[in-house]
Structure 1
């Protein structure tokens, strides 16, 4: 089958972050001419800084600045030479001082923490190791870990700080690998939460093959003896613990450090270590500042600075508790997260805080689930208690207003983040959709809906007419396998006069989360599903269903109440999602320019690329010569003649509305061949009774293609005939004849021919095989879906399959 354009994880990020940039809350440019750590100047406005990670404020310390200048004067701006040739004296001095901070353990300094990870992971990880990534471990750890797949190293992922899942994975794989590495952060950068080092100690004792690899960049300096960081203070380093830390953030400079308790790991990394040897070393200016900072860390001053920050943290925690905000961060780190829910609320919230003269960060998808975004801020010694009072007052004032202004519910948002909000009488922040101008009707079966009303809206949108929905409900009910039983949910919103403003339907079903992943990714995942059928699957509430495609929403945008009708739609989706215990919601299929696109993004849905759809707006033709005359491209005409028209006399083509059980079984087998061969749009097989059920409905027909030479049925088209359109939805093929008789190309010709014979205005040729369909003048139309997930673990795990060594 032809390949399709797949959604890419980075496309989703691009969409979400571009929107945040347009709203003026991310990718900002500062304008200050000097920086003292306390303020930024953005858009000619001074903002108090609650966004940087220089926790101890050392980046403006006079000793660091003076030493940076001194080394620059002595050694110039750079030494353009690999340290594999020469390691200058100032880097030797720095590494000796950093080693003292870490009790004499071996240390290597890098130009960045990211380079440290690339260097160390590539050097110490071997093909017979297993890497287990915490779901939220920093990207700079995930990236080089995924690259180890190219040498054959297995990389898995566990849900964030889920130690039960971690231990299960250790046990399951214990005898398969020489070493098992758990890679995690010392302090997680979004929520400021901390790993449970007590549990990890027990696991180390219990499993001798277990090794720990930590990125403690956010834990450095403000915690521990000599400011050695959160992890070193609790676990240290050993032959089974490797620590990557930083010269940036709390340390006040630029650069990364790798700390080893194993002499051989240190030696191998030091002798080459990838970017350690083929990139520039730290500049004299950076090293000068780092040497000065290291001396502070080795003095009593470090404890004074830690104590000052701890006092500010205690005060911040007190004020946040008093304000009863949606704070879900650890009280033991200087990183804070105030949940606001939907992306549109977060954008509003952050914008409001910026307008109050306070700089904070935006935390949005994919680093957090797309309906659990929020405002992130950090605390440094540059801040004062007066600043904290101002910030917490501003947060408490604007959070409910941002929620209300974007049409969300304060009570709901607090509950979403597990925070209790005392209900008050006349609390205007708790809103319910109560519009006397609209009436909302909800149904669980098409049988309860007027066929006249439904068909007036949907009879020419693929196979979702009233009769088409009856067939669908019958196929996907009363089956043995869970994935073959769908729930159906219809909503119709009318005005007081009974005029329909909005109508659509959703299905609840078990989806494969890799439904639009790259084919090689789905193939790898399907191997796992041979033993774990529902691996990386989610209960999903989806607009439309996996048995249809097209425009599933009727919306009268000329009606004065259409926006309120859309609000009812989102309320309906939220309610149904809870009722069926879905963890993902999908709105599909939308073309560019649809009025709902922007609204969906504002509601926190991530925009993802779907396979293109292909539509022929049928020009009438009577003979094959007439058809070819319509096609301007000689190359396309020649291809159709060579592979389809010249072979017409080899086939018998029969149109059947009613089929026997034996035929239904044969047709289903042919369809199964296509389903098994095509990973482009990956979903569970349809129920085997599908063809038998469809033969009961007059709108459905079967185009049977058989060989004259032996009467063998080699292809079948399941076609739905609407009043003005033809929809050949399902194709079955005998792959033994794909190359010898070109039966796919023959089936494509017969689809087009049948739509023309029926004198339909439009033929829907469906997803995939764009190039083949374009030969017949099909319009290829990009389609988009909008996704919201409760948490991003499955998406991240699927993305991790993308560069396995065995990809095809």
Structure 2
């Protein structure tokens, strides 16, 4: 018999979320997650995927994944430190290090795991972390697990960062101080001010940590935000995911060899969780190889991003200050935002609404993620739907 206390807690809180319009319905996709998807038998232009370069359905990646399964099986069979490290994992890590321009790299089971692994692996209760207020949830969780003092600074506000760094250093109470930022912020599409962050870090001897989940494959001609600014030798931790632009699953930390060696003996997800599958390791390696050989997919992504942005702007929508293909369409009020997304769905466009508490109250938006796999015709159809719904709801 289940706990009455638990049943009451779940029923009461689920009902509360539903009443406030904060309960998220999950829409299962029937078939592949490409530029067009099928949900409940309905074909939709997909503007909600992180599959930036269309590699999740790329035939070349499928081929190497299938070969890896045939040769190595479907699982690694153990944690990395026992006998779950396959030669495929080493090839992947070598490829990541070349891609990011670092001495070494370590692969994890997800991008989320990277932050839960790397931050507590190096920081502890005697340290402090300066964290951008809009950093990803996995960074926040990693910081909490480290038990370090968390000092939030205003989003991309370099004066506030310098002030708080100075206060932390002058207090004399911390052994180490780290500054953490996303490379690209996923809700607004803006890029971190890395040159200024590095300059402040050098002034106060801060450890630098950049989570480039939405930048790898997208900025710096594909090599990421750190490479975009030419700062590979000045950023201590480069974090990335293999599940967005790379199109597979997993994550990595790239940096100096000593750092990677330390994480291999001290980061808990590496020590206590089975390694990524042979198919994932092989497909990720192939994807990075493709990005290093050609910028064709990267260029197409940016071309499509510009096209969608220009079209939405011309229609009169507020698309914020995005500096990347991530294109928020800011509606404002929460209920209207959700209704807007629902109407787009009815018109054949899948673009999810994002509202409080993920973004500040009153800044609800429909977030659009154009990819390299979209055609101009698909984007034109999406723009036509935006115009129709925008006028109908009085947004434009």
Length-normalised TM-score, structure 2: 0.90
Q: Note the C-alpha offset of 1:398.
A: 1.6
Aligned match for 1:187, one of 181, 184, 187: 184
Contact map agreement 1:210 1:240 (CA 8 A) in 2: no
Q: Secondary structure at the match of 2:142?
A: helix
Question: Which residue of structure 2 aligns with residue 162 of structure 1?
Answer: 157
Describe the shift of the 1:373–1:211 C-alpha distance in structure 2 as closer, same or farther (beyond 3 A).
same
Show the 5 A alignment for 1:621-640: none
Aligned match for 2:339, one of 348, 353, 362: 348
Q: Secondary structure at the match of 1:37?
A: coil
RMSD: 2.3
Q: Secondary structure at the match of 2:82?
A: coil
Show the 5 A alignment for 1:191-230: 191-207=188-204, 209-225=205-221, 227-230=222-225
Question: Which residue of structure 1 aligns with residue 315 of structure 2?
Answer: 323
Question: Which residue of structure 2 aligns with residue 297 of structure 1?
Answer: 291
Aligned partners of 2:39, 2:17: CA distance in 1, in Å? 22
Q: Note the C-alpha offset of 1:203.
A: 1.5
Question: Which residue of structure 1 aligns with residue 231 of structure 2?
Answer: 236
Q: Note the C-alpha offset of 1:37.
A: 0.6
Name the structure where helix makes up a greater proportion of residues: 2
Question: For 1:508-532, what per-residue CA distance to the aligned partner results, in whole angstroms no more than 9, with x for missing partners?
Answer: xxxxxxxxxxxxxxxxxxxxxxxxx
Aligned match for 1:375, one of 363, 366, 374: 366
Q: Note the C-alpha offset of 1:45.
A: 1.2
Question: Which residue of structure 2 aligns with residue 306 of structure 1?
Answer: 298
Q: Note the C-alpha offset of 1:223.
A: 2.3
Aligned partners of 1:291, 1:188: CA distance in 2, in Å? 25
* Runs (5+) with no aligned partner, structure 1: 1-7, 405-409, 411-428, 430-808
Aligned partners of 1:31, 1:132: CA distance in 2, in Å? 39
Contact map agreement 2:101 2:232 (CA 8 A) in 1: no
Do structure 1's residue 281 and structure 2's residue 275 form an aligned pair? yes
Q: Secondary structure at the match of 2:353?
A: strand
Q: Note the C-alpha offset of 1:14.
A: 8.4
Show the 5 A alignment for 1:294-443: 294-299=288-293, 301=294, 303-330=295-322, 332-402=323-393, 404=394
Q: Note the C-alpha offset of 1:235.
A: 4.8
Aligned partners of 1:126, 1:350: CA distance in 2, in Å? 42
Aligned partners of 1:240, 1:305: CA distance in 2, in Å? 26
Question: Which residue of structure 2 aligns with residue 255 of structure 1?
Answer: 250
Aligned partners of 2:128, 2:66: CA distance in 1, in Å? 45
Contact map agreement 1:65 1:289 (CA 8 A) in 2: yes
Question: Which residue of structure 2 aligns with residue 93 of structure 1?
Answer: 91
Question: For 1:384-437, what per-residue CA distance to the aligned partner results, in whole angstroms no more than 9, with x for missing partners?
Answer: 2222222223223323432x5xxxxx5xxxxxxxxxxxxxxxxxx8xxxxxxxx
Q: Secondary structure at the match of 2:328?
A: strand
Contact map agreement 1:82 1:280 (CA 8 A) in 2: yes
Q: Note the C-alpha offset of 1:316.
A: 1.9
Q: Note the C-alpha offset of 1:36.
A: 5.8
Q: Note the C-alpha offset of 1:12.
A: 8.7
Contact map agreement 1:48 1:357 (CA 8 A) in 2: yes
Contact map agreement 1:131 1:181 (CA 8 A) in 2: yes
Aligned partners of 1:102, 1:130: CA distance in 2, in Å? 27
Contact map agreement 1:246 1:255 (CA 8 A) in 2: yes
Q: Note the C-alpha offset of 1:50.
A: 0.7
Question: Which residue of structure 2 aligns with residue 698 of structure 1?
Answer: none
Describe the shift of the 1:93–1:30 C-alpha distance in structure 2 as closer, same or farther (beyond 3 A).
same
Contact map agreement 2:52 2:370 (CA 8 A) in 1: yes
Q: Note the C-alpha offset of 1:382.
A: 1.7
Question: Which residue of structure 2 aligns with residue 245 of structure 1?
Answer: 240
Q: Note the C-alpha offset of 1:380.
A: 0.3
Contact map agreement 1:135 1:158 (CA 8 A) in 2: yes
Q: Note the C-alpha offset of 1:222.
A: 2.2
Contact map agreement 2:102 2:255 (CA 8 A) in 1: no
* Runs (5+) with no aligned partner, structure 2: 1-8
Q: Note the C-alpha offset of 1:71.
A: 0.5
Aligned partners of 1:131, 1:205: CA distance in 2, in Å? 15
Aligned partners of 1:322, 1:396: CA distance in 2, in Å? 10
Aligned partners of 2:33, 2:386: CA distance in 1, in Å? 24
Q: Note the C-alpha offset of 1:103.
A: 2.5
Show the 5 A alignment for 1:678-693: none
Question: For 1:258-297, what per-residue CA distance to the aligned partner results, in whole angstroms no more than 9, with x for missing partners?
Answer: 0113x33222111231110110001011112112112212
Question: Which residue of structure 1 aligns with residue 6 of structure 2?
Answer: none
Q: Which structure has more RCO (C-alpha within 8 Å, separation ≥ 6)?
A: 2
Aligned partners of 1:229, 1:345: CA distance in 2, in Å? 35
Contact map agreement 1:21 1:27 (CA 8 A) in 2: no
Show the 5 A alignment for 1:627-666: none
Q: Secondary structure at the match of 1:298?
A: helix
Q: Note the C-alpha offset of 1:373.
A: 0.8
Aligned partners of 1:236, 1:255: CA distance in 2, in Å? 24
Show the 5 A alignment for 1:27-42: 27-32=25-30, 34-35=31-32, 37-42=34-39
Aligned partners of 1:202, 1:352: CA distance in 2, in Å? 46
Q: Note the C-alpha offset of 1:378.
A: 0.4
The higher radius of gyration belongs to: 1
Question: For 1:431-487, what per-residue CA distance to the aligned partner results, in whole angstroms no more than 9, with x for missing partners?
Answer: xxxxxxxxxxxxxxxxxxxxxxxxxxxxxxxxxxxxxxxxxxxxxxxxxxxxxxxxx
Q: Note the C-alpha offset of 1:247.
A: 0.9
Q: Note the C-alpha offset of 1:381.
A: 1.2
Contact map agreement 2:213 2:244 (CA 8 A) in 1: yes
Describe the shift of the 1:165–1:21 C-alpha distance in structure 2 as closer, same or farther (beyond 3 A).
closer
Contact map agreement 1:16 1:365 (CA 8 A) in 2: no
Question: Which residue of structure 2 aligns with residue 46 of structure 1?
Answer: 43
Aligned match for 1:134, one of 132, 135, 155: 132
Q: Secondary structure at the match of 1:174?
A: helix
Aligned partners of 1:12, 1:197: CA distance in 2, in Å? 40
Aligned partners of 1:236, 1:85: CA distance in 2, in Å? 35
Contact map agreement 1:13 1:366 (CA 8 A) in 2: no
